[in-house]
Structure 1
Amino acid sequence: MMNGRTVKRYREGNITAAFGADLLLQGTTTIPNLLLRLYRHLDINDEEMILLIQLLRLQVEEKDLFPSASTLAACTAQDVTRVQQNLNRLIEKEVLAVTQYYDESKDQILSGFDFEPLLEKLSEIWASIRVKEIERTRSLLEKRPLETRAQDFALIIRAFEQEFGRPVSPMEVEQIRQWAEELDHTLVLEALRRAVLMGKHNFKYIDSIILEWKKNNLRTVEEINAYDAKFKKRRSGKHPPSKVDERKKALLKTLYLS
């Protein structure tokens, strides 16, 4: 052990393998892709971004909540003065803050850097970009020829009447119109198809399917199928209940029935 770290004994003549083993032992620092992609929108330059990455690493790896400028300088190509200047700028931009943390093991209050302002600003930038994407999508849909949109809507109405075996009511027509304005017509037809396969010939069930897709930002049939595949994989990975669990359930059932 060195400085609280686990160090593998070096085996002579196998430097590549030793490097690989040490690479695994040292762990990794997770940097959100959104941050890497959008940090320019936060008015963060490359030097400041490197500091943020090192601050994240030191918090996770070293449990150092408030590293000194000299510690950060040793991790970067910046000298102590430059590090301090960049830290001050990050705080002035309200990207980084200094706050108080409670150390339970030592029962004391410690100062430390806080990334909450960074995440708040990042979420605002993300939301702004998403709004623009939605507006762009709506604009493109509105530019489609009225005749084409009318044909799509008529296709959906016919599909519903065929599957339900009856004409749709005026209220149901308005519900379908709302779905068609929010989603591509192929997704409305896909939701109908899935409801029919489940024997659920009602609008409430179809609406629950569409709400689930909207909540998970699924915009195409391909994305929906990929989402379903991941969900099934997660479910199949869960262990079936043990015999002990089944016995407990049976015992509880007898208690409630007695």
Structure 2
Amino acid sequence: MSKTSLLKWIQEGNVTIPGVLLTHYKEMNLDENELVLLLQVISFIENGNEFPTPFELSSRMTISVSECTGILRKLVQKGFIEIKESYSGDDVRYERYDVEPLWGKLIDCFLLRGKQEAVIANQKNETDLYTCFEQEFGRPLSPFECETLAMWMDDDHHDPHIIKAALRESVISGKLNFRYIDRILFEWKKNGIKTIEQAKSYGKKFRQSQTPQRNKQNEDANPTLKSVPFYNWLEQ
């Protein structure tokens, strides 16, 4: 290959497109011909031709000029591209393709998918939470208990992971009931506990302050009893 050919290849430039367009175009109701045609339009624009003709576009593809014209019309109707009027420095009016609507639709699709994934993940967490409670209680939850769980999440805005942590705390403490779990959640919320890490830190400080007092009481009652550290489930 000659140097001239290599220079021509370099001068062709590169087309920069978001990878998310390739992974989400089906969800945006685009087919392969529409996608490739959009990419060709973008390529022309980036190389200085803002209004390529159907003939120029179809010459790079395997579709006819008439097919290209029809797809362009469809892309405009579907709101993926717009034909706008602009003026040059000599006040000469000209038409150009604007692909900003494509990026807007792509962003909307990406955000919508993110929300859908978040909803699915949240629903799974909630289902796991109910299952976790039923396993620990060894029975199906009553309607009142189900309502209480829902209130913890919807009204008190407790994260399902924090509710599970409070459940495990009640199990370790030997006080498996909703009233005790509600008290744990109340104390954690009052002290700004919103994550497992914060619960670890809070639990550690609380137990450090409580253990010496418990040990002293136990030793006073039974001098031969050795000190046993309180089990910290958060460290497991």
In structure 2, C-alpha distance between the alignment counterparts of 1:39 and 1:85, rounded to whole Å: 19
In structure 2, C-alpha distance between the alignment counterparts of 1:81 and 1:64, rounded to whole Å: 20
In structure 2, C-alpha distance between the alignment counterparts of 1:70 and 1:151, rounded to whole Å: 63
The structure 1 residue matched to 2:165, chosen from 139, 145, 152, is 152
Question: What stretches of structure 2 of length at least 5 have no aligned partner?
Answer: 137-160, 170-183, 202-236
In structure 2, C-alpha distance between the alignment counterparts of 1:123 and 1:189, rounded to whole Å: 37
How far off its partner does 1:64 sit?
1.0
Percent sequence identity over matched residues? 18
Change (3 A) 1:121 1:150: closer
2:99 counterpart letter in structure 1: F
Task: Single out whichever of 147-156 and 63-72 deviates more from structure 2.
Answer: 147-156
SS of corresponding position for 1:75:
coil
How far off its partner does 1:118 sit?
1.6
SS of corresponding position for 2:27:
helix
Counterpart residue number, 1:49: 35
2:165 counterpart letter in structure 1: D
Q: Within the alignment, does 1:121 sit opposite 2:113 as a pair?
A: no
How far off its partner does 1:138 sit?
1.0
Q: Within the alignment, does 1:89 sit opposite 2:56 as a pair?
A: no
Counterpart residue number, 2:189: 173
In structure 1, C-alpha distance between the alignment counterparts of 2:122 and 2:55, rounded to whole Å: 52
In structure 2, C-alpha distance between the alignment counterparts of 1:44 and 1:135, rounded to whole Å: 25
Residues 203-250 of structure 1 deviation map (CA, whole Å, 9 limit, x = unaligned): xxxxxxxxxxxxxxxxxxxxxxxxxxxxxxxxxxxxxxxxxxxxxxxx
Residues 99-156 of structure 1 deviation map (CA, whole Å, 9 limit, x = unaligned): 12343x4444421111122222222222221111111111122123246754535899
In structure 2, C-alpha distance between the alignment counterparts of 1:189 and 1:68, rounded to whole Å: 64
Counterpart residue number, 1:34: 20
TM-score by length of 2: 0.56
CA contact 2:188–2:199 (8 Å) conserved in 1: no
How far off its partner does 1:172 sit?
6.2
Change (3 A) 1:43 1:151: closer
Aligned residues: 159
How far off its partner does 1:71 sit?
0.8
How far off its partner does 1:23 sit?
4.1
Change (3 A) 1:11 1:91: closer
Change (3 A) 1:106 1:10: farther
How far off its partner does 1:69 sit?
0.7
Q: Within the alignment, does 1:65 sit opposite 2:23 as a pair?
A: no
Greater RCO, 1 or 2 (C-alpha within 8 Å, sep 6+):
2
What is the root-mean-square deviation in Å for CA atoms of aligned residues?
A: 3.5
Change (3 A) 1:27 1:189: farther
Q: How does 1:1-258 map to 2 (within 5 A)?
A: 10-11=2-3, 19=6, 22-61=8-47, 63-103=48-88, 105-144=89-128, 145-146=132-133, 149-150=162-163, 152-153=165-166, 173-174=189-190, 176=192, 179-180=194-195, 185=196
2:189 counterpart letter in structure 1: V
TM-score by length of 1: 0.51
Change (3 A) 1:11 1:53: closer
SS of corresponding position for 2:96:
strand
1:50 counterpart letter in structure 2: V
In structure 1, C-alpha distance between the alignment counterparts of 2:62 and 2:168, rounded to whole Å: 63
Change (3 A) 1:77 1:40: same
Question: What stretches of structure 1 of length at least 5 have no aligned partner?
Answer: 1-8, 13-17, 157-167, 193-258
